[in-house]
């Protein structure tokens, strides 16, 4: 079954063609899986709430900033539900995207340790484009340009997620609809933005090095046509089920360090730092990218079905 899932995911993943812009990226995507794959909803066996903030290229004026809030929970042994909000801003408010989605998952037990989940999500996207906030080379505002004000477009996505207590693999397309946005000036309307499908493949495995130390290598592949394939490779150690320490490499883009602290059975705090390996990373105005996340899980109601997994 593991080989079948991986073969199916890779086959679909490698046949994408077209042009597009990347979705917001996360170094700690392994703690934000519901944001990219609706089939993950409810898979932790508890009501789980996660908030994440990312500041990219700190020191660069107008660099991207992203906030996410998501929650998901099992309804019963097979059905899970989730909800997420993402706010992504570039250019000091020049481009602001707000996504909100509801997710549904259905899980099929394949054996005592194997589960295969199918997920659907539906929601919408609010787009703000205000080119008047751009500044030209002498610092003045670039006035007189067109704007888009809170334009709504619906969307839906799907995913598949296979996991055991040690291994996981998932394939997903969070948004299927490709919406074109124009400036609304009639026959002379100009093209301002276009949404494209982003394709994700995640895979990871947990190894017990000794009773108090676990190792989890993981990978994320992201494809959107018209942009380079993004490959994130990471290795994370977990000490005494409390402290996690890891490193990651985003292919031809960045090196990352990650730290996590399971404060108690319910609360986990995570931090990450990225250093660009491109020419942008060598500039004086780029101090790298930072992420922080906080996860809270309600254990009492679902205490009997908590799965002590490292993902």
pLDDT at 227: 77
pLDDT < 50 stretches in the chain? 3-21, 137, 302, 304-307
Q: Is residue 258 within 8 Å of residue 272, measured between CB atoms?
A: yes
pLDDT at 119: 97
- b/e 8-46 (16+ beta carbons within 10 angstroms → b): ebeeebeebeeebeebbbbbbbbbbbbbbbbbbbbbbbb
Give CA–CA dist 190/193, Å, rounded.
10
Pairing of strands 180-182, 213-223: unpaired
The CATH class given to the 2-305 domain equals mainly beta
pLDDT at 6: 42
pLDDT at 282: 62
pLDDT at 180: 73
Give CA–CA dist 112/34, Å, rounded.
24
pLDDT at 7: 45
pLDDT at 277: 85
Q: Delimit the domains of the chain by residue range.
A: 2-305
pLDDT at 270: 96
Span 119-133, pLDDT tens digits: 999 999 888 888 777
pLDDT at 184: 55
């Amino acid at each position: 079954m593991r080989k079948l899932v991986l073969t199916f995911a890779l086959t679909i993943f490698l046949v994408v063609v077209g042009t597009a812009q990347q979705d917001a990226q996360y170094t700690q995507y392994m703690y934000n899986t519901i944001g990219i794959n609706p089939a993950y909803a409810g898979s932790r066996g508890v009501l789980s709430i996660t908030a994440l903030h990312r500041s990219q290229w700190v020191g660069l004026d107008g660099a991207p900033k992203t906030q996410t809030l998501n929650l998901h929970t099992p309804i019963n042994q097979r059905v899970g539900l989730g909800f997420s909000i993402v706010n992504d801003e570039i250019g000091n408010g020049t481009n602001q995207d707000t996504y909100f989605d509801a997710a549904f998952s259905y899980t099929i037990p394949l054996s005592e340790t194997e589960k295969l989940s199918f997920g659907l999500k539906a929601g919408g996207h609010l787009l703000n484009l205000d080119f008047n906030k751009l500044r030209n080379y002498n610092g003045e505002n670039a006035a007189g340009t067109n704007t888009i004000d809170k334009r709504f477009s619906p969307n839906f996505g799907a995913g598949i997620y296979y996991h055991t207590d040690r291994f996981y693999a998932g394939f997903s397309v969070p948004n299927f609809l490709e919406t074109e946005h124009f400036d609304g000036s009639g026959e002379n309307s100009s093209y301002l933005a276009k949404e494209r499908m982003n394709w994700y493949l995640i895979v990871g495995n947990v190894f017990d090095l000794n009773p108090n130390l676990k190792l989890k290598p993981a990978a994320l592949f992201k494809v959107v046509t018209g942009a380079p394939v993004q490959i994130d490779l990471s290795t994370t150690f977990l000490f005494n089920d409390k402290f996690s320490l890891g490193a990651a490499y985003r292919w031809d883009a960045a090196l990352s360090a990650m730290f996590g602290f399971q404060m108690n059975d319910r609360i986990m705090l995570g931090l990450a730092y990225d250093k660009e390996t491109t020419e942008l990373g060598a500039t004086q105005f780029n101090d790298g990218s930072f992420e922080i996340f906080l996860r809270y899980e309600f254990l009492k109601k679902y205490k009997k079905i908590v799965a002590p997994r490292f993902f």
